[in-house]
Amino acid sequence: MRSRTLARKEQPLAEAQVREMLAAKGLRATKRRMAVARIIAAAAQPVGVKEIHRRLSRTDSTVGLATVYRALAVLEDAGVARRQPRVGSDSAQYAPAPPAAAGGGQVVCSRCGKTESIGDLPEFASIRSTVARNSKFAAAEQSLYIIADCRNERCG
Ligand SMILES: [Zn+2]
């Protein structure tokens, strides 16, 4: 299927936005939280916790893995980073959160973790109204992950 919405790449959050989002939750933009946010924003693909720790250690040799986990929990809470499902592994990986209320879908490669936004397709509105009809929830937005295999020849 060819669609203009398929190729839309996510824009990583600007640093000022990250600070604002943390402040909105009463969370401090510490040096390490900001460094973790930068690593996630700069990565072309979702990054695993150990890889984030490894990259952070290059400039911050005393940082521990537990600190990285705590920073990620804070960034996730503030809506800056998003934990992503990783097929066949218990360890989490993180990607920049999509802009608020994007309500869209993501295609995630099960092997390399490459993620692409598929936007808010008309079909999603129909899922929301079905949910609203069949349950006691008024669906406001949804995020949908489609786990797939990408066609990148260097995948895996
Ligand atoms: Zn792939």
The pLDDT tens digits of the residues spanning 75-113 come to 998 888 988 877 776 678 898 876 544 457 778 888 887
The sign of the dihedral angle between the CA atoms of 25, 146, 111, 1 is negative
* Residue at 154 is within a domain: no
The pLDDT of residue 13 is 62
What amino acid is encoded at 155 in this protein?
C
* Residue at 155 is within a domain: no
Gap from CA of 109 to ligand 1 centroid (Å): 5
User: Which CATH number does the domain housing residue 36 bear?
Assistant: 1.10.10.10
Gap from CA of 129 to ligand 1 centroid (Å): 32
Asked if 128 contacts 120 with a C-beta cutoff of 8 angstroms, the reply is no
Which residues are found with C-beta within 5 Å of the ion, ligand 1?
109, 111-112, 114, 150, 155
Alpha helices in 43-154 (DSSP H): 49-59, 65-77, 122-134
Helix (H) or strand (E) holding 116, with range, is strand 115-119
Has 155 been labeled as part of a binding site?
A: no
* Residue at 54 is within a domain: yes
* Residue at 153 is within a domain: no
- Domain range for residue 32? 4-148
* Residue at 156 is within a domain: no
* Residue at 10 is within a domain: yes
* Residue at 119 is within a domain: yes
Gap from CA of 108 to ligand 1 centroid (Å): 8
* Residue at 126 is within a domain: yes
pTM reported for the whole predicted model: 0.59
With H, G, I as helix, E, B as strand and everything else as coil, classify residue 47: strand
